[in-house]
Amino acid sequence: MFNMIRATHPALFCLATLLLTLPLAAQQDPPQTGSSSSSAIPSQQIQESTSQARIAHKTEAGGSAITLENSEPLFDIAVALNACGYDADLAASSPVRLAIREEVNEELRNSAPARDSRDAICLYIRDHTLADKAQDIAQYVSLALYTTPPPALAPSVGETELPPDSTQVVNILPLLRAFNEQLHLHALYVEHLPDYQALNDAVHGPLTKMVLSSNIAVRMPTSGYDGRRFLVLLEPMLAPSTTNARIYATDYIAVASPNGATRTIHMDQVRHIYLQYVVEPLIYARAAAMDRLLPLLKPIHEAPIDFIYRSDISAYITECLIRAIEARLLEFDFPRPAKPNAVTQRTDMIHYDADVAAYEKKTEALRRELVERDMRQGWALTEYFYNQLLLTERDSTSLKEDIGQMVYGMDVDRERKHESQIAFYPEGTNGTIRRTPPPITGIRLAEMDLMKGDLVTAEDIAQKILADPKGDHPEAHYVLAQVELMQKSPEDAMEHFTEAIKTSKNPRTLAWSHIYLGRLYDTQPDRPKAIEEYKAALTVRDSAPDTKAAAEKGIKAPFATPRRAQQPADDDNTPLDPSGKAEKEAYRPDPK
C-alpha cells in the first residue's frame, strides 16, 4: 500500500470535500502471476493451461475460468533469488528445490560466465531489497506474472500496466535473460517438469475439493469463462510458508509452494482468494447503493485492519462476508457421528440422535468462536453475515439470490451500535492472509494525515518526498493536489494532478487524477476538456467499480457543485468523516 495561501475558486471547497470522500491513491494490497506450463486436470472445475505468457494470454470464451499451473518466468526469477541467498523455509521445501539449487551451484562452480551473470543479478537484488521480507519477494513474483517466457523474458504488457510493486524491479529482466542463458535454465526447467507435474497432481484433488465445497456453501455453480479468472500457480522454489494472494484487474491469483513432506499448500489461504473471486462481483455490482452503509465505517476507525477496509465500505463488506462463509466452512479434527448400519433396538437411534446433537452443538460453538475472533480483529459484520447465511441454508437459496436482501435489508443503526460495543484486538493481532502492513511512513503517512484533515503535516511530508530524488514523486503530487483543493487553490491542484499523470505508474492514481481534473474543468466551466479527462480515466487500467462509475457519470453530465445543506448538531449517528470535515455529506452531488 502506499501512498498554503493562494487564489480561491468559488466552488472549490465544496469540490474538495467531495473529492476527499473518495479513495486516495492505490490503497490495495495487489496480487501476483506469470506464464505457464501446467497440470493435466480432467475435471470441469479446474483446467490446465498451456505454456504461454499467463496474464497476456486470454482464456477462450466457454473455457474454464479456474486453472492450476506453473510459470517458467516465475521459475527463472525464483532460481535467481535462491542463487542470491533466498533460503526461506528451505528445510520444509519440496526435494525438487534442493535438487535444482544443487544443479545451479554445480553450473556456477564450472562456469565463470555463469558466476558473472549470477553476481550481476545478485547485486541488483541486494540494491532493491525491501525491509519487509514478504514484500521483497512479492515484487519479483508480481513481475514474473507479467513476463513472457524465455528467451524473451520481457514484460507482457506496457510499463504503465505492470503491477505497481513490480515496476520497482522491472530492470532486472535484462540481467535475468543473461542469467537464464548462462545457466541454461530452460533446459533445467524442462528436466524437472515431471517433478512439477507430480506436485500439481498432488494439489489438484484438494484444490478441486476446496472449489466444490466453497460453491456448495454459497450454492453457486462454477461458471465458464466470463472475463475473470482464478489461477493457482505452484512454484516449489519459493517458501512453503508463504502464499502470495493477489488480484490483478480480473485475475484472482494465488502463488503457493507445496510443503516437502506433505506436498500440500495452505488451502485455507487459497480458498480465501477464491471466495474473493466468487463474492466480489456480487458486492461491487451494488457499489452505487453502498452509501447508506457508510456509517458502519465509523466504529471500526481504530480497528486493527488495513486502511483500505476502514475507508472503502464495499471492500469491508466483502471481507466480512468472506469470513462468515469461512466460518460456515470450518473443518474439524473430530468426525461427525456415524449412523448405525443396523438398528437393533430403539435406544440405538436415541443415542445416535444425542451424539449428533452434541456434535452440532460443539461445532456451532467452535464456529461462533471463530466469528467472535474475526469481529475482534476488526471484521465487525462477520456475525451479521454468518446469521444471514444460516437463513439462506434453511431456505436453500443461493448467495447470488440473497445478497441483495443481506445488503439492502441490513438495519444499519443496529449493526453500527453492535460494532461500537466490540473490543478490538490490539494492532498486529489480525489473523488475515494478508501480511502485516509495514509501519506507516512516507507518502502513506501523508495520506493518513490528509484523511484526518491535518493538511499542514500532509503537505510538509509530501514536499519532503518531492525534495528526495528517490522519493515517490507521483504520489506526492497526488497528495499535494488534494491539499491544494482543501486550501481552495484549484490552479495549483490542477498542476499537481497533471504532474501525477505525467509520472505515475499507479493505475488508480492515474485514473482519479484524470477524474479530479475533469471535475475541476467542469467547475470553470470547460466541458470539452472535462469530457477528455473523464474518457482518459476510462482508458487507465484501474478496474475498481467506483472509478468506472465516476468517469462515466462525468461523461454523462457535468460535475455540479452541490449546495451546502443545513447540518444538524453533531451527534453519535453522524457517518464516518474520513476527511475530518463534519459537513462532508452536504457536498455530495445529487444522484443523477
pLDDT of residue 22: 36
Q: Is the distance from CB of 541 to CB of 160 less than 8 angstroms?
A: yes
* Residue 503 pLDDT exceeds 90: no
Task: Please report which confidence band the pLDDT of residue 543 belongs to, taking 50, 70 and 90 as the band edges.
Answer: low
In a domain, residue 105? The reply is: yes
504 and 540 together in one domain = yes
394 and 518 together in one domain = no
| CB burial of residue 430 (10 Å; 0-12, 13-18, 19+) | buried
Lowest mean pLDDT among 162-171, 379-388, 417-426, 448-457: 448-457
* Residue 20 pLDDT exceeds 80: no
102 and 227 together in one domain = yes
* Residue 19 pLDDT exceeds 50: no
Lowest mean pLDDT among 13-17, 217-221, 289-293: 13-17
Range of the domain at 321: 286-333+359-420
Task: Please report which confidence band the pLDDT of residue 541 belongs to, taking 50, 70 and 90 as the band edges.
Answer: low
- C-alpha cell, 571: 451527534
453 and 370 together in one domain = no
In a domain, residue 431? The reply is: no
pLDDT of residue 270: 95
Q: What is the mean pLDDT of the chain?
A: 80
pLDDT of residue 47: 38
SS3 of residue 16 by DSSP? helix
* Residue 32 pLDDT exceeds 50: no
> Averaged over 234-255, what is the pLDDT?
90
pLDDT of residue 407: 87
How far is residue 287's CA from residue 280's CA, in Å, rounded to a whole number? 10
In a domain, residue 313? The reply is: yes
> Among 218, 236, 256, where does a domain finish?
256
In a domain, residue 570? The reply is: no
> Among 370, 389, 420, where does a domain finish?
420
How far is residue 145's CA from residue 238's CA, in Å, rounded to a whole number? 14
Q: How far apart are the first and last CA of the chain?
A: 33
> Averaged over 442-462, what is the pLDDT?
74
Q: Is the distance from CB of 122 to CB of 79 less than 8 angstroms?
A: no
pLDDT of residue 455: 82
Nearest to 322 by CA among 448, 447, 433, 227: 433
Strand partners, 232: 68, 254
- C-alpha cell, 508: 488508480
Q: Is the distance from CB of 46 to CB of 208 less than 8 angstroms?
A: yes
Lowest mean pLDDT among 22-36, 149-163, 368-382, 431-445: 22-36
How far is residue 447's CA from residue 443's CA, in Å, rounded to a whole number? 6
Lowest mean pLDDT among 273-287, 422-436, 507-521: 422-436
Identity (one letter) of the amino acid at 560? A
Peptide bond into 42 cis (omega under 30): no
368 and 408 together in one domain = yes
101 and 136 together in one domain = yes
370 and 245 together in one domain = no
107 and 148 together in one domain = yes
Q: Which residues contact 241 (CB under 8 A, 6 or more apart)?
A: 88, 89, 92
124 and 244 together in one domain = yes
pLDDT of residue 551: 87
213 and 303 together in one domain = no
* Residue 402 pLDDT exceeds 50: yes
Lowest mean pLDDT among 192-201, 311-320, 534-543: 534-543
* Residue 239 pLDDT exceeds 60: yes
How far is residue 319's CA from residue 165's CA, in Å, rounded to a whole number? 23
Task: Please report which confidence band the pLDDT of residue 175 belongs to, taking 50, 70 and 90 as the band edges.
Answer: very high
pLDDT of residue 328: 94
* Residue 49 pLDDT exceeds 50: no
How far is residue 124's CA from residue 470's CA, in Å, rounded to a whole number? 16
299 and 403 together in one domain = yes
Task: Please report which confidence band the pLDDT of residue 64 belongs to, taking 50, 70 and 90 as the band edges.
Answer: low
pLDDT of residue 395: 80
Task: Please report which confidence band the pLDDT of residue 504 belongs to, taking 50, 70 and 90 as the band edges.
Answer: confident
Task: Assign residue 170 a region (left: φ > 0; alpha: ψ between -120 and 50; beta: otherwise).
Answer: alpha
In a domain, residue 223? The reply is: yes
Considering the entire predicted model, what is its pTM? Answer: 0.64
Give how many domains the chain has, as a whole number: 3
**Residue 256: which H helix or E strand, with range?**
strand 251-256
In a domain, residue 157? The reply is: yes
In a domain, residue 113? The reply is: yes
Q: What is the C-alpha R_g of the chain?
A: 26
> Averaged over 121-129, what is the pLDDT?
94
- C-alpha cell, 362: 460443539
How far is residue 476's CA from residue 406's CA, in Å, rounded to a whole number? 39
* Residue 75 pLDDT exceeds 60: yes
Task: Please report which confidence band the pLDDT of residue 39 belongs to, taking 50, 70 and 90 as the band edges.
Answer: very low
pLDDT of residue 5: 22
pLDDT digits (tens, 9 = 90+) for 555-592: 998 887 655 444 444 444 444 444 444 433 443 344 44
85 and 220 together in one domain = yes
In a domain, residue 461? The reply is: yes
